A and B are shown apart, each in its own frame.
Chain A
Amino acid sequence: MSITLETEHSIKKKYPKRHNHYGFRDFFQFDPDKGTIVDWNGSQNILTTEDFIVGLVEGLQEEVGDASAATMYTIGCEWGTKDAFFFEKWFEKEFDRNVRQTNLMFLLETWWWPFTAQGWGRWEVDMGDRKQGFMFINIFDSAVARTLGDVGKPVCYLYAGLFAGFFTELVKKQLSCIEIQCYSMGETYCKFLLGGQDRIDAAAFWMNEGATARDIEKRLRAGDILR
């Protein structure tokens, strides 16, 4: 977890333009006197256990029932939207370049690296279908799915919301996201579909009908959407 603060990071102060700063001891600055962990971009981090994630997911389920998925997604969306502004600021400061004048894949890798360092998992972006208005993101080692284990359904609503919020802000166009394959369904990694609401609704419908991620990919590529 991280909260944005205006705090100075001592290694960053010494090497402000260093880009390879994602090693554990470089990215995080531990201050035992203040009891804080501040990362390279000035966010205060809190270390949590898997029990915390279980508590968050199950507690929410108990409080709001089936609405917990939508609640997690909405939290993710707001997080992603805010992070897009935060990212724009630190990216421009670090690289002396506007995000819109930067190679897109490089930009996205740079956005995700702090998340990787914080334990949210590695990712892979598949932009092969972006001209058709959708794209896929794979997450390896999702913190939520890894914690909950095989529960037979997708659980990474927080991630889906995060991607929807961030990419909506990045491309200035309303985008939604759905997890179409999850480690918690017994798969080896999580797969997210990002696109307009019509495609996400179609994917959700097909999933309810028992479609696999591969089926959904095929149908989208074939231009199959709900009428």
Chain B
Amino acid sequence: MIWNESLNTIDEIRPPRFYAIHIHTFVQRIALLREFTMLSQLERLSREVDGRYASDAELTFMIDYVRSFNLRVQTYQKLQELESTIIQQTYNRMRSIDPQIFVGVNREDLTRKCLYDMTCGLRATATAVLLNDLDTLQERLLFWLQTIMRSLGKTHTCDVLYSSLQEVVKQHLTPPQANLVCPILELNRRILGSVT
């Protein structure tokens, strides 16, 4: 199985599990996460409300986030749990769309590399769902990866990959969960899959 062949490599980048359910625990998690990521909106809020109280409008994103928090954690954990299935089914779907999609210009087999990239993309998407943080996803991954994919001529692969991923996750997630994930996968597709 392709997935098993690349399991060791992929396992190395497996992110820590998140069990946080309560807000109190979540706040502690934020403190830990700040070490390697920035929660852009919270940071912006803390900067902008220096010396005053935040307005209701400025707090809206936090209230929305708290309301959606349990759904975000459930979605994140579901993606984590189903990762290998989603990747395998996406791989199958991509091959059925374009049988040559994992073949390089020198006829080399790019399957392993594509599966690795696919897994990284899914995990980054899951993190963006959990933290509701598209700015960080773009700044840390997508803007860089866009230039790399263009330089390697892989925009078509990204287009097919992120369209297929959306179709596959819809089969495994509930509609509210899919509504959190698919817009981010679509953002990935638009940034990585477009030529200009």
Interface residues, chain A, CB within 8 Å of chain B? 11, 19-20, 22-26, 103, 105-106, 108-110, 113
> Which residues on the A side are within 8 Å of B148 (C-beta)?
19, 106, 109-110
Does B38 contact A113, Cβ atoms closer than 8 Å?
no
Does B36 contact A11, Cβ atoms closer than 8 Å?
yes
**Which B27-54 residues have C-beta < 8 A from chain A?**
36-38
**Which B87-114 residues have C-beta < 8 A from chain A?**
none
> Which residues on the B side are within 8 Å of A26 (C-beta)?
36, 140
For residue B141, CB closer than 8 A to chain A, the reply is: yes
For residue B21, CB closer than 8 A to chain A, the reply is: no
Does B139 contact A24, Cβ atoms closer than 8 Å?
yes
Does A20 contact B151, Cβ atoms closer than 8 Å?
no
Which residue on B lies nearest to A113, using beta carbons?
B144
Interface residues, chain B, CB within 8 Å of chain A? 36-38, 136, 139-141, 143-145, 147-148, 150-152
Does B151 contact A23, Cβ atoms closer than 8 Å?
no
List the 8 closest pairs (A to B, CB-CB), nearest first: A105-B151, A23-B140, A109-B151, A23-B139, A106-B151, A109-B147, A20-B141, A20-B144
Closest-CB distance, B103 to chain A (whole angstroms): 16
Does A105 contact B141, Cβ atoms closer than 8 Å?
no
Which of A11, A19, A105 contacts B152, CB < 8 Å?
A105
> Which residues on the A side are within 8 Å of B38 (C-beta)?
25
> Which residues on the B side are within 8 Å of A110 (C-beta)?
148
Which residue on A lies nearest to B146, using beta carbons?
A109
Does B144 contact A22, Cβ atoms closer than 8 Å?
yes
Closest-CB distance, B191 to chain A (whole angstroms): 13
Does B141 contact A103, Cβ atoms closer than 8 Å?
no
Contacts known (A11-B36, A23-B136); A103 close to B144, Cβ less than 8 A: no
Q: List 14 A-B contacts (CB under 8 A).
A: A11-B36, A19-B144, A22-B143, A23-B139, A25-B36, A25-B38, A103-B151, A103-B152, A105-B150, A105-B151, A106-B151, A109-B148, A110-B148, A113-B147
> Which residues on the A side are within 8 Å of B143 (C-beta)?
22
Which residue on A lies nearest to B148, using beta carbons?
A109
> Which residues on the B side are within 8 Å of A103 (C-beta)?
151-152
Taken together as a complex, chains A and B put the C-alpha atoms of A109 and B139 apart, in Å, by: 16
